[in-house]
Structure 1
């Protein structure tokens, strides 16, 4: 059974029409689908994601307009190779992340992935069902990571703020730099990505996100 069918994000979001987010993927309606976090937290692997993609189709949700399957925090242990490129656990993700994106696409769905604007994702700071792996954010690797996501075939990227908040980063500056990285990645691959700013509203993203992103959060997680 499809776990926790709901809107794609875990809090109130604001959706911007495509003309206000030139650096992000052009979209004409609010993106709807399924996200792994509320049901599984960090205990995810290819089997979990494949089964949810299957269920999105067989339940009729895909036909109703729910088209995104978003892999949230927990997909990555924070490891990089000597060149700083993301490496993944192939026991959890046979064929790597491009293979799971291909599987999602084979169902006529779109694939989403997760990172943080800071050095660490939220799984480093909160219980998730796996160890607190350090280095699961994109800080210091923006161009490298967003190009990798695009090359893997992802259509959507959620960029969280746990690391950014812990480090006291300026959200507008960080997310603008990320938007620029996404634009450069798209220029190289030809694959735009929907860009979701997951800053929770503390630094008033409604004042700056419309020019750089497709959607942005205005509050904390609804689970709380």
Structure 2
């Protein structure tokens, strides 16, 4: 099966470089490009790719707005979005996370990592580079806490309600997802099949009304099931020790 990709970046040289890397692979094909956020939405609607590589800072509609627009399109439910970022784009990435991006990739990632990321997100696998994911989610939680100085260090009643809607096995799966583990790694740690792990993830997304695995991990942080690096959740094992 060929993975159909749309590349979005306002710099033509970067788009060309990404295209050359991806099309070197037999199972990946670049089916469209765009240099603006608005243009990205138009192209994706037209060609309906499997994966979109989305830059954040662009003219005429940024990548955050484009992600939100794509997530809102029911006909594009099968299209997955990887946000291209740097560690200097933290606030932008948090906004993209809220908008429903499926994963994150550093712009200076090795070509092999880029190709692997496209394949993994197309397969419905976990959130790409664990170091990037953990860094971004840590930042998300800290920004949320800074916005409300009275927020408890433990989960709020509303957040605890999220946990109450999950089965014990789903909570086990979610803890490991929050560390950046792949479906295969979660399956091995919990003695499950990968198909069962995917089923649990799908069930959690549906039950919690979420649209992406990134949002699912954020829900775990907000609910206190896992905490930013170095902090232990109340009444739960440290996620960094899982798996």
Q: Same fold (TM over 0.5)?
A: no
**Which structure dedicates a bigger proportion of its chain to helix?**
2
- TM-score (normalised: structure 2): 0.26
Q: Which has the larger radius of gyration?
A: 2
- TM-score (normalised: structure 1): 0.27
